[in-house]
Amino acid sequence: MSLPEFKFVRPQSLSEAVAILQQHSPAADPLAPRRPPEERGGIEIIAGGTDLIPSMRQRLFEPEFVLDIRAIRELRGIREVPGGDLELGALTTLTEIERSAIIRQRYPVLAEAARTVASPVIRNMATIGGNICLDTRCVWYNQSLQWRKSCGFCIKKDGDLCHVAPGGQKCWAAFSADTPPALLCLEAEIEIAGPAGPRRLPLSELYTGEGDARMNLRRNEILARIILPRRTANWRGAYRKLRIRGSIDYPLAGVAVAIENNGHIQQANIAITGVNPAPVLVKRAGGLLAGKALSESLAAEAADLAARTAKPLTTSALTPEYRREIVRVFTRRALMEAGG
């Protein structure tokens, strides 16, 4: 499990980093997603390294270059911008988010979700950008080279077979990060830096829903900032997470809810993670909840919508049926908690 050899580059500015990425992007296909499964060589971005390094040890990636973005000051910090939105640099650590007074007060569901990631030591290194861009996971993929060789490779890496959905052409590896569902509920936007300057889009548009090419992020782009809008500040929220080891583990199912509630629900969002190839907002949940007083039966109706949105397959040690049922239970509980 030693690291493969690579060359290390550490730019001091965002423009320098983008120029290096641009230099290593194949001119023929600059719009290609960053990581086709068969790719060897190339360049990988590293932030906290808490996911990339273990994956490199498992020979899931063998990049020729590793681009360390940690010296780029523009990517750091939490700041309120004119108009009242809150901006988080992509290098903001999960510990900073968990402890930030302004986030705990205005966007409590984000602080709560960040607090459930891995362990305190990992959260000190792990960044919000890395969490948003986290690779998808599958019991057939996140294994050593030896293990994968002995079972036969899969679509996501080195093979053409899906062990989860045999005969299928799609990769079903699950997106398993904790903060994105909270950010989706808060209607967060992201700013992406690239050679043509920055572009801004809703976080929900970053994800493709494909387990292998998971993001609409080009090879020459870097996630720079996350913007939390003023309009969802002070919404009450809750995050519930299923994991095997309570002290340190990825979500096998996770539910975030955020609601604006003045006796009656004004607006609400529900999002799930760990059960689909992308984190997803539960469609029609906001419409169902808005204008009503929260009750157990209303929460159960919304929980049905969430369970139907979840499409877990056998990508982890727990059964898909159990994980879908847990989404239902967690949604109901999270709504009742957020609703006070």
Ligand X SMILES: Cc1cc2nc3c(=O)[nH]c(=O)nc-3n(C[C@H](O)[C@H](O)[C@H](O)COP(=O)(O)OP(=O)(O)OC[C@H]3O[C@@H](n4cnc5c(N)ncnc54)[C@H](O)[C@@H]3O)c2cc1C
Q: How far apart are CA 30 and CA 20, in angstroms?
A: 14
Question: What's the min distance (Å) between Cβ of 94 and ligand X?
Answer: 6
Q: One-letter amino acid identity for 249?
A: D
Report the alpha-carbon angle 77-82-84, nearest 5: 80
Residue 34 three-state SS: coil
Question: What's the min distance (Å) between Cβ of 18 and ligand X?
Answer: 11
Owner of token pair 């004119």: 82
Nearer to ligand X, 216 or 267 (CB): 216
Using CB under 6 A as the criterion, which residues of the chain lie in contact with ligand X when the complex forms?
A: 44-52, 54, 69, 90, 94, 117-118, 122, 125-127, 129-131, 133-135, 177-178, 222-223, 248-250
Q: One-letter amino acid identity for 111?
A: A
Q: What token pair was written down for 145?
A: 């080279």
Nearer to ligand X, 169 or 247 (CB): 247
Q: Give residue number: closest CB to ligand X.
A: 130
Q: How far apart are CA 156 and CA 37, in angstroms?
A: 5
Nearer to ligand X, 14 or 164 (CB): 14
Q: One-letter amino acid identity for 170?
A: K
Owner of token pair 């419409």: 287
Question: What's the min distance (Å) between Cβ of 68 and ligand X?
Answer: 9
Question: What's the min distance (Å) between Cβ of 81 and ligand X?
Answer: 19
Nearer to ligand X, 97 or 289 (CB): 97
Nearer to ligand X, 133 or 288 (CB): 133
Q: How far apart are CA 86 and CA 234, in angstroms?
A: 12
Q: How far apart are CA 282 and CA 318, in angstroms?
A: 22
Residue 202 three-state SS: strand
Q: What token pair was written down for 195?
A: 């050679």
Question: What's the min distance (Å) between Cβ of 217 and ligand X?
Answer: 6
Within 10 angstroms of residue 100's Cβ, the number of other Cβ atoms is 19
Identify each DSSP E strand in the chain by its residue range.
7-9, 43-46, 65-68, 78-80, 86-89, 189-194, 197-202, 222-228, 236-242, 253-262, 264-273, 280-281
Question: What's the min distance (Å) between Cβ of 311 and ligand X?
Answer: 19
Question: What's the min distance (Å) between Cβ of 163 and ligand X?
Answer: 22
| DSSP summary character for residue 154 | B
Nearer to ligand X, 69 or 162 (CB): 69
Torsion of CA 182, 183, 184, 185, to 10 degrees: 50
Nearer to ligand X, 171 or 268 (CB): 171
Q: What token pair was written down for 20?
A: 């290096």
Q: How far apart are CA 22 and CA 30, in angstroms?
A: 8
CB 187 within 8 A of CB 231: yes
Nearer to ligand X, 178 or 187 (CB): 178
Question: What's the min distance (Å) between Cβ of 50 and ligand X?
Answer: 3
117's CB contacts (< 8 A; 6+ apart) are 94, 123, 126, 131, 177, 178, 179
CB 88 within 8 A of CB 33: no
Nearer to ligand X, 60 or 302 (CB): 60
Question: What's the min distance (Å) between Cβ of 288 and ligand X?
Answer: 28
